[in-house]
Chains A and B, each alone.
Chain A
């Protein structure tokens, strides 16, 4: 891809971000609910106190002014103070982001590790019992509510068997010096295998809960696209040349068959990077999803605005990454 094309793609981000900011701002402004009242809760308060808080939160300004202040600050990388944490929004988001990234990446790897072999196997052995089992299994995987499945895993592996922890990212006696914020990576960098295993133990259940529905979707996508590729002329030609079945599938068919898988995986990853509120809540995972949903319920406007902008950027960048991957998988695709 030429640098000019890259710049063009990046420039296309600006109207998207502006549009997203405006829509989020309008939704926030039009939704009933007052952060000042939520903060004061049940306790006694005076009108002066309410006015002072409203002023501190910048809510005494007209909406259009608040929007332009937000845009002006955002352009400089400033997103204001979180109403309830009373610290810069960006700090609050960034300290929760690594947990979500780590969970997402491990879930993605797990999902791909399940889905690609299973999807390919099911396609190659179409109508075999494994194919049917994979189809039924993926239907189940998509249908199982994460909340229920997560609790079930906790009851089995934590309460009954006592093998894995219920919640958190790492035990309290493990300390890992923060480098990337991803505990598995940081534990390896620090050369602490026990902390690595400890972090991994905490990751197993939430990652499995997230990976299963993702793997189900990806298995179905991989299977159907593999079936289509296997029917194509070039595969027939490769087989006619006398190549082994394994070579035809592994070298020729798989690459093309993976294009839809990559697209779906990128979209799923995009939504997971936004944090999965349900899984993060069930497993007490200190990620972004829980933070943002709490922020929505408490009308923590600056945090919601900044987080949604971050989501928009993540989505666009991941789609772009998927586009780039297409060119690797299929040289006929040009950006």
Chain B
């Protein structure tokens, strides 16, 4: 029996020893354990943030964001607003695509017209068109100048441009739109070696890279020879890969694994404020939630700080509104609905509501949070039940007035990668917005959001958004919750890398010992 027992382990040991060189990390190879594979490598043919994170290491944009999330030029040298309907960008000189073709303003105009013009991608319209708002046409004025023409003033154009990457006109014209789905010819720190679908995106340094935005030093080619996005969808396996030394960075580190990572000799935890606002939308059309006192009572009934401490391991910032503290026009003076079950009871009594019973809808991932909220609500005399749904079912149900009419509360979140109110307040709080689950409609807020959308004076814009946030805080269409940090596990041999608030993993400056 002893022999029987030994055999499989002996076999594994032989396997392990036989191929250490093949599996070992080379010093200049950096691996990211990433939760999702790219869907496509065509920068204009997706609406997926993870896709963009991978692509951004191979494809630069006109503009980008520095570590403080300030918008800075990247492929552009400089930019200015010529008139309310025109923006002009000067393109950096001497840039070359991975294929060696020089980048000119014609490539930039081609890239953006491919996105904003209908049916410009072999008869198909880019799903990213609406990310460029009222941009109608992009024109190459000379080899180094492009002009963006808009149908209406749109002050957030610079904030939205870091989401788009520039492709080579010659490449697309020669190989066709379909080729872009699996091939890359961009200006960027890394070029594509191989995309093993579902497994990994393997990239190598482009030695001819111009160095990236001067606003984000150090400027120069990427530090490592190869960078690999290794796709590991399961959280526990991603953490294991980090602890086993197979990868140097992992994204979406679950809060429950923080201690495990911190206890290891090999890795540590890094965090940054995320861009996803969590809230519970209240169905305003249903009684008794049409009464503002009831909605305030719900806010007083939730101890956000306790949940942040106990469930989110302290890794979140409580919010009194919708905006992240890192975003443009964040209103820091919003009053807080403190945790106070007695105040909640009092408000419910004033509203004439006794024995309030409600259901919190959420997805599986947030069940523990919803259950904690329900338990806290019980202390304020509210009987809350939790109903778990599939995300694909829940979101269309809550975003259609006729379908949500019998629902009560919806624990959800909304991302704001642009860190601008326009990108989150318009969809979630303007009447008729596509993510306005509460059915919130306030004429004053609508008017402020609409005016700010086209206001060119940034100071005035900021004032309008702050006023809108104050109005929302007073109307309480949501139970305001928190902004979680994005958590990463990183190996201790990693240098020159910081997590970024826009969820990107830029590997240009990163290196490994």
Residue ranges of A at the interface with B (Cβ–Cβ < 8 Å)? 31-34, 37-46, 48-49, 52-53, 56, 84-87, 92, 95-96, 99, 151, 154-155, 157-159, 161-169, 171-174, 194-195, 197-198, 200-201, 204, 281-284, 286-287, 290-291, 297-299
Asked whether A163 lies within 8 Å of B13 as measured between CB atoms, the reply is yes
Asked whether B234 lies within 8 Å of A284 as measured between CB atoms, the reply is yes
Further contacts, 16 of them, CB under 8 A, given A37-B396, A167-B232:
A40-B434, A43-B131, A44-B427, A49-B130, A52-B118, A53-B127, A87-B40, A87-B182, A96-B198, A163-B16, A166-B232, A166-B237, A171-B23, A173-B26, A174-B22, A282-B234
Residue ranges of B at the interface with A (Cβ–Cβ < 8 Å)? 12-13, 15-16, 18-19, 21-23, 26, 29, 31, 37, 39-40, 42, 45-49, 118, 124-125, 127, 129-131, 133, 178, 181-182, 196-200, 202, 226, 228, 230-234, 236-237, 240-241, 243-246, 390-393, 395-397, 399, 414-417, 422-424, 426-427, 434-435
In the complex where A162-B244, A286-B199 touch, is A33 in contact with B232 (Cβ < 8 A)? no
- When chains A and B are docked, how far (Å) is the Cα of A33 from the Cα of B130? 21
- When chains A and B are docked, how far (Å) is the Cα of A197 from the Cα of B20? 10
In the complex where A33-B396, A52-B118, A164-B12 touch, is A86 in contact with B181 (Cβ < 8 A)? yes
Asked whether B127 lies within 8 Å of A284 as measured between CB atoms, the reply is no
Asked whether B131 lies within 8 Å of A44 as measured between CB atoms, the reply is yes
- When chains A and B are docked, how far (Å) is the Cα of A195 from the Cα of B414? 45
- When chains A and B are docked, how far (Å) is the Cα of A292 from the Cα of B422? 35
Asked whether A84 lies within 8 Å of B118 as measured between CB atoms, the reply is no
- When chains A and B are docked, how far (Å) is the Cα of A291 from the Cα of B39? 11
Give chain A nearest CB distance to B19 CB in angstroms. 5
- When chains A and B are docked, how far (Å) is the Cα of A164 from the Cα of B9? 12
Asked whether B244 lies within 8 Å of A37 as measured between CB atoms, the reply is no
Contacts of A154 in B (CB 8 A): 236-237, 240
- When chains A and B are docked, how far (Å) is the Cα of A48 from the Cα of B129? 10
**25 residue pairs A–B, Cβ–Cβ below 8 Å:** A31-B393, A37-B396, A39-B127, A42-B415, A42-B416, A44-B423, A45-B130, A52-B118, A84-B40, A85-B40, A86-B42, A95-B197, A151-B237, A151-B240, A158-B241, A159-B240, A159-B243, A164-B15, A172-B200, A173-B22, A201-B15, A204-B15, A284-B230, A286-B37, A287-B198
- When chains A and B are docked, how far (Å) is the Cα of A37 from the Cα of B178? 24
Partner of A46, one of B118, B130, B423: B130
The CB with the most chain A CB atoms within 10 A, among B26, B45, B426, B434, is that of B434
Give chain A nearest CB distance to B399 CB in angstroms. 7
In the complex where A44-B131, A56-B125 touch, is A194 in contact with B233 (Cβ < 8 A)? no
- Sort A-B residue pairs by CB-CB distance and give the 10 closest, nearest first: A286-B198, A33-B392, A163-B16, A49-B130, A286-B199, A284-B232, A42-B415, A166-B241, A198-B22, A52-B125
Asked whether B22 lies within 8 Å of A43 as measured between CB atoms, the reply is no
Contacts of B199 in A (CB 8 A): 99, 168-169, 284, 286
- When chains A and B are docked, how far (Å) is the Cα of A291 from the Cα of B199? 11
Partner of A290, one of B198, B241, B395: B198
- When chains A and B are docked, how far (Å) is the Cα of A44 from the Cα of B47? 11
In the complex where A49-B130, A86-B45, A169-B199 touch, is A281 in contact with B233 (Cβ < 8 A)? yes
The residue of chain A having its C-beta at the shortest distance from the C-beta of B423 within the complex is A44
- When chains A and B are docked, how far (Å) is the Cα of A14 from the Cα of B12? 46
Give chain A nearest CB distance to B118 CB in angstroms. 7
Contacts of A291 in B (CB 8 A): 198
- When chains A and B are docked, how far (Å) is the Cα of A8 from the Cα of B392? 42
Give chain A nearest CB distance to B286 CB in angstroms. 20
Contacts of B434 in A (CB 8 A): 37, 40, 45
Give chain B nearest CB distance to A299 CB in angstroms. 6
Asked whether B237 lies within 8 Å of A85 as measured between CB atoms, the reply is no
The residue of chain B having its C-beta at the shortest distance from the C-beta of A53 within the complex is B127
- When chains A and B are docked, how far (Å) is the Cα of A46 from the Cα of B435? 12
In the complex where A171-B22, A282-B234 touch, is A37 in contact with B395 (Cβ < 8 A)? yes
Asked whether A286 lies within 8 Å of B196 as measured between CB atoms, the reply is yes
- When chains A and B are docked, how far (Å) is the Cα of A34 from the Cα of B434? 13
Contacts of A287 in B (CB 8 A): 198
The residue of chain B having its C-beta at the shortest distance from the C-beta of A37 within the complex is B396
In the complex where A38-B392, A52-B129 touch, is A87 in contact with B19 (Cβ < 8 A)? no
Asked whether B197 lies within 8 Å of A44 as measured between CB atoms, the reply is no
Asked whether A163 lies within 8 Å of B15 as measured between CB atoms, the reply is yes
The residue of chain A having its C-beta at the shortest distance from the C-beta of B389 within the complex is A32
Asked whether B19 lies within 8 Å of A194 as measured between CB atoms, the reply is yes
Contacts of A85 in B (CB 8 A): 39-40, 181
- When chains A and B are docked, how far (Å) is the Cα of A39 from the Cα of B199? 22
The residue of chain B having its C-beta at the shortest distance from the C-beta of A200 within the complex is B15
Contacts of A38 in B (CB 8 A): 392, 395
Asked whether B130 lies within 8 Å of A197 as measured between CB atoms, the reply is no
Partner of B393, one of A32, A43, A56: A32
The residue of chain A having its C-beta at the shortest distance from the C-beta of B26 within the complex is A173
- When chains A and B are docked, how far (Å) is the Cα of A290 from the Cα of B415? 25
Give chain B nearest CB distance to A27 CB in angstroms. 14
Asked whether B241 lies within 8 Å of A163 as measured between CB atoms, the reply is no
Partner of B392, one of A32, A52, A84, A95: A32
Partner of A201, one of B19, B40, B200, B427: B19
Contacts of B236 in A (CB 8 A): 151, 154, 282
Give chain B nearest CB distance to A57 CB in angstroms. 10
Contacts of A167 in B (CB 8 A): 230, 232, 237, 241, 246
Give chain B nearest CB distance to A120 CB in angstroms. 16
